């Protein structure tokens, strides 16, 4: 698909690869229409640093973010003024949730200070423990709760706080909390079922109500939920979110966009063929794909039909076969 609302580079993120210019050049070569630059925002406490950031200070993170913003806006000005390319660059950042209110306040300040076009609202921590780093830490975060149901509910409560306080234009990897679950091992303490057999609506009504609440707020604020292809390269057979949440969100007229969540050149547009197949498998439940666009320098939500999306020259040009 010729849109991505979520990307990273090794120039500004320690766990990514390749430079920001190289990522953008790849998006241009692949004939993307919209590509959003959304490096991670700083964190403001040493206990939140990832292992690969052990040699960095909190000041380093803020200085890196500042350099990123200057660089990204320079790229944007150059690319968006090129009449020979259909690519439009949008500049923003990916926020953090599940930490504390101080960080959310800081992120609101960053939005104003740098006059960004979009925030990608994410939750990567629960009780200050990373949940998307590995299963060991995912289980450590879970140990703070009496049950998987309570753990999942905590995640969606954190997501609600991010949406409520930051009003992100894009809500990323909606059900990231499911990434490291082992459906054949992890068992619900309340129902006794394996997680793979859990029906969120029937078995965990409190979690399902939280999901419904979050989608209602996203819709109210005019945000987009991303189909994030990174889930496929991490072992799923679909993008985030899984079908149960996707189908409910669509029934509530939620608007979905596309993201590759690339952390390297090799991940730009990766598995988009499988994402298109997932979208098409939803049939009449989904009519359009939405994307943030620019007109006269102003941000607005644009869309195209699934038929238009599937016929875009992006596909033949890239010979996608995931």
Give the pLDDT confidence score for residue 172 in this predicted structure.
97
Give the pLDDT confidence score for residue 232 in this predicted structure.
97
For residue 204, give Cα distances in angstroms to 133, 151, 153, 208. Answer: 25, 11, 9, 6
Averaged over 222-245, what is the pLDDT? 97
Q: Is the pLDDT of residue 320 over 70?
A: no
CA-based R_g, the chain, Å: 19
Q: Is the pLDDT of residue 76 over 70?
A: yes
Give the pLDDT confidence score for residue 83 in this predicted structure.
83
* Percent helix / strand / coil, the chain, rounded to 5: 45, 15, 40
Band of residue 319 on the pLDDT scale cut at 50, 70, 90: low
Averaged over 74-93, what is the pLDDT? 94
Averaged over 29-57, what is the pLDDT? 92
Buried b (16+ CB within 10 A) or exposed e, 294-317: beeeeeeeebbebeebbebebbee
Task: Provide the CB-side half-sphere exposure for 176 (13 A, CA).
Answer: 29
Q: Is the pLDDT of residue 322 over 60?
A: no
Averaged over 163-174, what is the pLDDT? 97
Give the pLDDT confidence score for residue 321 in this predicted structure.
52
Given this structure, which CATH class describes domain 3-318?
alpha beta
CB atoms within 10 A of CB 292: 21
Q: Is the pLDDT of residue 316 over 90?
A: no
Mean pLDDT for the chain overall:
95
pTM: 0.96
> Quick one: tokens of 30?
């692949």
């Amino acid at each position: 698909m010729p849109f991505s609302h979520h990307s990273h580079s090794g120039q500004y993120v320690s766990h990514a690869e390749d430079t920001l210019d190289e990522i953008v050049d790849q998006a241009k070569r692949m004939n993307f229409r919209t590509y959003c630059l959304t490096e991670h925002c700083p964190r403001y406490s040493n206990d939140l640093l990832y292992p690969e950031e052990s040699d960095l200070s909190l000041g380093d993170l803020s200085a890196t973010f500042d350099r990123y913003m200057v660089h990204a806006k320079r790229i944007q000005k150059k690319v968006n003024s090129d009449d020979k390319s259909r690519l439009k660059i949008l500049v923003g950042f990916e926020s953090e949730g599940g930490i504390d209110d101080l960080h959310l306040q800081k992120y609101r300040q960053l939005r104003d200070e740098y006059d960004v076009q979009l925030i990608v609202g994410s939750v990567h921590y629960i009780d200050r423990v990373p949940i998307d780093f590995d299963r060991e830490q995912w289980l450590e975060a879970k140990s703070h709760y009496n049950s998987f149901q309570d753990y999942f509910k905590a995640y969606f409560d954190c997501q609600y706080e991010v949406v409520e306080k930051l009003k992100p234009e894009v809500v990323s990897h909606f059900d990231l909390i499911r990434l490291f679950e082992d459906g054949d091992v992890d068992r619900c303490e309340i129902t006794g079922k394996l997680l793979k057999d859990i029906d969120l609506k029937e078995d965990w009504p409190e979690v399902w109500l939280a999901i419904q609440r979050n989608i209602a707020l996203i819709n109210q604020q005019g945000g987009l939920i991303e189909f994030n292809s990174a889930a496929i390269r991490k072992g799923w057979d679909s993008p985030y979110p899984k079908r149960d949440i996707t189908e409910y969100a669509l029934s509530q007229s939620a608007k979905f966009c596309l993201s590759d969540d690339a952390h390297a050149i090799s991940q730009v547009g990766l598995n988009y063929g499988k994402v298109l197949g997932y979208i098409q498998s939803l049939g009449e439940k989904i009519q359009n794909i939405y994307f943030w666009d620019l007109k006269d320098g102003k941000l607005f939500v644009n869309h195209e039909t699934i038929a238009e999306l599937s016929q875009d020259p992006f596909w033949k040009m890239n010979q996608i076969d995931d």
